[in-house]
Structure 1
Amino acid sequence: MSKIIALYNNKGGVSKTTTNFNLGAYLSSIGKKVLIVDCDPQCNITELFFASRDDLDDPEASLPGTSIYEALLPRFKGQQGAIDQNTIELTEHNVYPSMYLFRGDLEFSRAETYLGTAWNQAVTENIHEKNTYIVLNNLLRSLMIEREFDYILCDVGPSTGAITKSVIVCCDEIVIPLVPDRFCYQAVRLLGNVISEWIDRHQIISQSLEPYGIEPFPGQPKLAGTILQNFKVHAGAKAKASYIKWQDKISEEIESSLCKDGKFSAKEGFDLKKPYVASIKDVAVLAPVAQLFGRAIFDIEQEHTKEASSNGQMYYGSVWQPWKDRMEEYKAEIQKIAEAFE
């Protein structure tokens, strides 16, 4: 079954973009057709996607493919009632076949106004705002069906603004990346209520669409799991005590707060008492090296270690082996995230 998925947390710095890219690369490596949609006006996943291409090193070079803002602008301007997926040009990754990008756009920040107005006025008799409200969902669904994607992975920023909530209500499932610290603990306490409010508002808007012959969409994403990210360990591979403390407190909060009102609920089979579908240790220098070459962290090649070496030489033997071990460990955790969607 094809799915639209987002990794989301209203707190920044939890490795959403890095994990999204690596998840897409892993899924493509096991034969899945994946579309990454850059819904964050910062465009970080777009930069990461194209980092492996030498022909785009020039900052003045035009990026290939249709941007999400270019695609949606005719609807925002009222020039089209809907967006035809046939007009969208997607770009295939040059290292990971079957992984495609619907690229980001710095100007997509302007969509905050268009989508914000739609969220506020779609309940009125304004047909323009009703059509704007459903446009993102309808476009993503048509791309998924017509181009036979197994997964659409949406990269979103940490905001709670109109762009983010428009993406989240389009999703079938959400995974929440978490860092074991005070701020993620506070975020989890709020996140269930925030998403439930979006779902509740969506249901109200949906009821206003049907009398005008506009088909609503479900707008009820399910929690597929949480990811423990970026925790640091001692030399003996044991997590530091401070991280364990916050991990335990966050686990309690996930069980008691995240899905408490029933509007935002966990998918069937997911146990809130065992919330972490994956635990990803701090990968240190592996992440920036992988990003330099636009590759997954588990696909760093030995020659790439020159970038981490103080003398510009490749790592060998006992220095290279720990890299290989951490890459395999990371890949195993990404696999667990992928399995959470099955």
Structure 2
Amino acid sequence: MGKIISLYNNKGGVSKTTTLFNLGAYLSQSSKVLLVDCDPQCNVTEMFFAANEDADSPDIDLPGTSIYQAFLPRFMGESSKIDPNSVKLPSHNIYTNLFIFRGDLEFSRAETYFGTAWNQAVTENIHEKNTYVAFHRLITELGELNGFDYILCDVGPSTGSITRTVILTCDEIIVPLVPDRFCYQAVRLLGRVIREWVDRHKQISDTLVPFGIVPFTGEPKLAGTIIQNYKIHSASKTKKSYIEWQNRISAEIETKLVGDQGITPKCSFNVKMPYIATIRDVGVLAPLAQMFGRAIFDIQQEHTKEASADGRMYYGTVWDPLLERMKEYKNEIAKIAGALS
């Protein structure tokens, strides 16, 4: 089956969900892709279904199985594992090779169930052992059943049990960053946090085999980092303050994020050149894309009516720079896709 990937940073506001959706749309041009919305805020689900004409109607139920509906029988102890055939995965209205395992506000309750499993799976409690491996089991089985080339999991900016469960299931992770003090602080700790999860997973895995439960690897590789949302001067030069924070973050990636006490890097990862993409602030393009459920690089001129004060489309000197920005953005998303190959 294909790769399971997440964009993760325990610091919020780094355009993680936006980048993940756009990466999924880009990959779906030549591959079969599944988005898994593991964040109870359900933002990637909102973006996905925004392309549906009736998306804003409160009387319309979203198609497909929600992630909480799927896992509830396991949480309640009604079945040892979840049948992947019971999970319905709708496709996108525009990107037909892009599918979603949609989010659910009630999935926040999974924090308790996965948390209990995290603490008790090392004991002889078979119920908690089955809950501990349930996410990995189902996601890999969905991948095999449906022939997905990529499975992209969206998680919230936390270190809670849902996030731990998802990240340990992944084959690779990408860390999105913005050049500021808060991401500098986050990247100093993130590697050690994930290493602690991996070490704990190994302890739990040793207790699964005697109960006939097959353990999983549980050690995602770092495929790269992304610097994004930075702003430039009118002379197309990155602002000095952003460069300063980017340099500080680069040093912490090399000394703290990767290595024996951090995340294991992918073979192709170059610690001296850690940024697989650099994405500058896209301005009005982001809210427009969210409004129409499209990739940022796929906005049409007619969509700009919604961003115009007088309801007219952008033309000429207003529209042409946006076309260039979309092209630039698509090139950077292509670099992220290339790092996953």
> 1:173, 1:223 within 8 Å by CA — same for their partners in 2?
yes
- Partner amino acid for 1:251? S
Task: Kindly provide the CA deviation profile for residues 138-197 of structure 1, in whole angstroms up to 9, marking residues without a partner as x.
Answer: 100001111100000000000100000000000000000000000000000000000000
Question: Counterpart of 2:21?
Answer: 21
Question: Counterpart of 2:5?
Answer: 5
For 2:137, what is the secondary structure of its paired residue?
Answer: helix
For 1:82, what is the secondary structure of its paired residue?
Answer: coil
> 1:35, 1:153 within 8 Å by CA — same for their partners in 2?
yes
Question: Counterpart of 2:225?
Answer: 226
Measured in 2, the distance between the counterparts of 1:62 and 1:101 equals: 15
Task: Kindly provide the CA deviation profile for residues 251-275 of structure 1, in whole angstroms up to 9, marking residues without a partner as x.
Answer: 0000010113256210012111110
Counterpart mapping for 1:159-238 below 5 A = 159-238=158-237
Question: Counterpart of 2:320?
Answer: 321
Question: Counterpart of 1:239?
Answer: 238
Measured in 1, the distance between the counterparts of 2:290 and 2:234 equals: 26
Q: Does 1:130 align with 2:146?
A: no
Question: Counterpart of 1:95?
Answer: 94
Question: Counterpart of 2:265?
Answer: 266
Task: Kindly provide the CA deviation profile for residues 189-246 of structure 1, in whole angstroms up to 9, marking residues without a partner as x.
Answer: 0000000000001000000101111100000100000000100000111110000000
TM-score, normalization by structure 1: 0.99
Residue 118 of structure 1, CA deviation: 0.1
Question: Counterpart of 1:276?
Answer: 275
- Partner amino acid for 1:159? S
Measured in 2, the distance between the counterparts of 1:251 and 1:56 equals: 41
Q: Does 1:60 align with 2:66?
A: no
Structure 1 unaligned spans of 5+: none
Measured in 2, the distance between the counterparts of 1:197 and 1:227 equals: 23
For 1:100, what is the secondary structure of its paired residue?
Answer: strand
Identity %: 66
Measured in 1, the distance between the counterparts of 2:202 and 2:58 equals: 43
Question: Counterpart of 1:50?
Answer: 49
> 1:199, 1:264 within 8 Å by CA — same for their partners in 2?
no
For 2:5, what is the secondary structure of its paired residue?
Answer: strand
Measured in 2, the distance between the counterparts of 1:263 and 1:175 equals: 14
For 2:208, what is the secondary structure of its paired residue?
Answer: helix
Question: Counterpart of 1:255?
Answer: 254
- Partner amino acid for 1:180? P
> 2:256, 2:262 within 8 Å by CA — same for their partners in 1?
no
Task: Kindly provide the CA deviation profile for residues 21-74 of structure 1, in whole angstroms up to 9, marking residues without a partner as x.
Answer: 000000012x10000000000000000000011122212321110000100110
> 2:191, 2:261 within 8 Å by CA — same for their partners in 1?
no
Give the number of equivalent residue pairs.
Answer: 341
> 1:91, 1:101 within 8 Å by CA — same for their partners in 2?
yes
Task: Kindly provide the CA deviation profile for residues 259-310 of structure 1, in whole angstroms up to 9, marking residues without a partner as x.
Answer: 1325621001211111000000000111001110000000000001111111
For 1:278, what is the secondary structure of its paired residue?
Answer: strand
Measured in 2, the distance between the counterparts of 1:287 and 1:179 equals: 16
> 1:38, 1:104 within 8 Å by CA — same for their partners in 2?
yes
> 1:233, 1:240 within 8 Å by CA — same for their partners in 2?
yes
